[in-house]
Chains A and B, each alone.
Chain A
């Protein structure tokens, strides 16, 4: 490997991949090549002077071109089955051909299924019927197959990745905690909230690329603490400087959720089957636009039925193995990370604007 290895990051237009590109560049982890599925996803990563290339993992020729001269790969690209399973296979295949030295595949704790209790890396991987976790299991199977063929692959299984640009665990939750009353009752949110700040995931990725012990291994990647969901909601609310959360009672919250459920299902079905037609109506009629916005606000502001069990789950994902083999030491607990996230949320207009 040359003194300055070239590192390809796939999915660099996304939340995790974008942060890998930014921090690797800042830390001087080789020469960063940011792989984008399409040029239009380059706005964030283009702020740094890293090399931008097209890398659509569903197209072998695109991957082949992106891998030219590459020593190391961090594989963050994700999507439907095409991208996550076939795309991962394509990336691994082309990496093997290109003589790539090390590959770090970003997986997920969803590979364990919806289990309570402690999930260590040797726990069974369980399909649940949900596409994200199921396809990540198949992607890990591909990694193990290519490991046998001589490619030095490691797999990271981050917990719930939060931080700036996290649509799910930061923006979405921030939207929720601005609601009064806060729609998630305290009685159902006592489960474990396995947060990991995105910078800690990047740190784990860097260590996995560097440490020989990482080859062929899978690692849980979590944060330095495991709060409850209630603690997370309260801490984010405090970091955002909002008035105390006024929690909705469980009975009322469940009743609202039940009432909104048919609207949620109809909207989901409609957008899946008739998105183009719906958007045409949305654009052409002020009344329809208003109605749809109200429906969206109602759906977003009301917990889904599955959330009542989700926030009560008590699963944990120990990171002892990553600590031991990688020397991984997550640095961002909530006290350190949430002020950063809150500052980002405020700067990007997510606080104080109607949801």
Chain B
């Protein structure tokens, strides 16, 4: 692992599931960073427990305690807190690696991006799927014109929710009524925008929210050349696959969690493997890449892999979806029954 000339103090804000499973292990694997990591959580006992588990320097219960000493901050708190905490860090001169989705609107993304640029600070977003060898290779294939131009994307992702959430910020009113679309959809819409290199418009958005967080969502998008259909669920296992069809009749179909090289199917049915780069294909590996990029970006040695501006189109789409929200037809939900 590369080392830096001056110690880089990283504060991890939020000691929940994503920190414990992703960011903290990656930081712990860095000998140069481990002695300078501060775990911050309003539940100080939890912060201290993780500090001990990973061998870090210290723990705190409030972001304000660390803003004077941290070089960079990893924001890993419930979604609705991303913007205010990122803003607090940037205003205090602290570089930020924020969990996805960075914000709830394109305006917020632009404001945070401008704030970071003006202060000369890094603002990196953890849209991990951009690091997958398969998604990168697919983008390259699209850019090369292997599909002609993209005419259709179908994306289906779902499973019974089993993320070991440590707090109450994921569901219901406390999550601001933003559920599976804001969670998984933040990845999926980002991939779609990245692959298409454009921001589609929302044709239709429907979900199953009854005043709380949606657990099933259907998104139909369109550009001048392509239509996109996305189905997401926190409630039941879906196919967990996507299919991209091109104007030349070729297609790419791949499993979301399939680490093998994706397969390109030509119009005549011939199949070939799309070679991917030899980079990591495990979450631990993606964590290492992300932390390395964050530290390098802090020290001006690299550009952030996913800067704020890169996610602005998908954040704008998320906001448009919620603005056009309609209810999925669910005749079973409230049948007319005498109460």
Interface string of B166-196 (1 = CB under 8 A from A): 1110111111000110000000000000000
- From A29, A44, A341, A353, give the contact of B339 (CB < 8 A): A29
Check A43 against B332 for contact (C-beta < 8 Å). no
Check B165 against A348 for contact (C-beta < 8 Å). no
Check A22 against B333 for contact (C-beta < 8 Å). yes
- In the complex, A322→B261 CA distance in Å? 61
A344 partner residues in chain B, CB cutoff 8 A: 330, 332
- In the complex, A348→B332 CA distance in Å? 12
Binds A, one of B129-137, B146-154, B209-217, B303-311: B209-217
B155 partner residues in chain A, CB cutoff 8 A: none
- From B175, B179, B237, B335, give the contact of A349 (CB < 8 A): B237
For residue A343, CB closer than 8 A to chain B, the reply is: yes
- From A45, A53, A206, A349, give the contact of B236 (CB < 8 A): A349
For residue A271, CB closer than 8 A to chain B, the reply is: no
B209 partner residues in chain A, CB cutoff 8 A: 47
For residue A146, CB closer than 8 A to chain B, the reply is: no
For residue B239, CB closer than 8 A to chain A, the reply is: yes
How close is B319's CB to chain A, nearest CB, in angstroms? Answer: 20
- From A27, A38, A46, A163, give the contact of B215 (CB < 8 A): A46
B235 partner residues in chain A, CB cutoff 8 A: 43-44, 348
For residue A274, CB closer than 8 A to chain B, the reply is: no
- CB neighbors of B among A320-349 (8 A): 329, 331-332, 336, 339-341, 343-344, 347-349
How close is A18's CB to chain B, nearest CB, in angstroms? Answer: 10
Check A52 against B172 for contact (C-beta < 8 Å). yes
- In the complex, A203→B171 CA distance in Å? 26
- In the complex, A331→B335 CA distance in Å? 11
Check B165 against A39 for contact (C-beta < 8 Å). yes
Check B335 against A39 for contact (C-beta < 8 Å). no
How close is A48's CB to chain B, nearest CB, in angstroms? Answer: 5
For residue A50, CB closer than 8 A to chain B, the reply is: yes
Residue of A nearest to B236 (CB): A348
Check A49 against B211 for contact (C-beta < 8 Å). yes
B236 partner residues in chain A, CB cutoff 8 A: 348-350
- In the complex, A22→B337 CA distance in Å? 13
- In the complex, A199→B335 CA distance in Å? 9
Q: Given A23-B339, A341-B332, A347-B330, check contact A40 B164 (CB 8 Å).
A: yes
Q: Given A43-B215, A348-B235, check contact A340 B172 (CB 8 Å).
A: no
Q: Given A43-B234, A340-B331, check contact A48 B162 (CB 8 Å).
A: no
How close is B256's CB to chain A, nearest CB, in angstroms? Answer: 15
- CB neighbors of B among A199-213 (8 A): 199, 203, 206
Check B239 against A353 for contact (C-beta < 8 Å). yes
Check A40 against B162 for contact (C-beta < 8 Å). yes
B239 partner residues in chain A, CB cutoff 8 A: 349, 353
A47 partner residues in chain B, CB cutoff 8 A: 179, 208-215
Check A343 against B211 for contact (C-beta < 8 Å). no
Check A42 against B173 for contact (C-beta < 8 Å). no
- In the complex, A38→B172 CA distance in Å? 14
- In the complex, A47→B216 CA distance in Å? 9
B270 partner residues in chain A, CB cutoff 8 A: none
- In the complex, A42→B164 CA distance in Å? 11
B330 partner residues in chain A, CB cutoff 8 A: 343-344, 347
A27 partner residues in chain B, CB cutoff 8 A: 339
Residue of A nearest to B338 (CB): A331
- In the complex, A38→B170 CA distance in Å? 12
How close is A123's CB to chain B, nearest CB, in angstroms? Answer: 30
- CB neighbors of A among B209-232 (8 A): 209-216
A54 partner residues in chain B, CB cutoff 8 A: 168
Taking beta carbons and an 8 Å cutoff, which residues of B are in contact with A?
158, 160-168, 170-175, 179-180, 208-216, 233-239, 328, 330-335, 337-339
- New A-B pairs, 12, CB < 8 Å, besides A26-B334, A40-B161, A46-B212: A29-B339, A39-B167, A43-B160, A43-B171, A43-B234, A44-B215, A46-B215, A47-B209, A203-B338, A336-B335, A344-B330, A349-B238
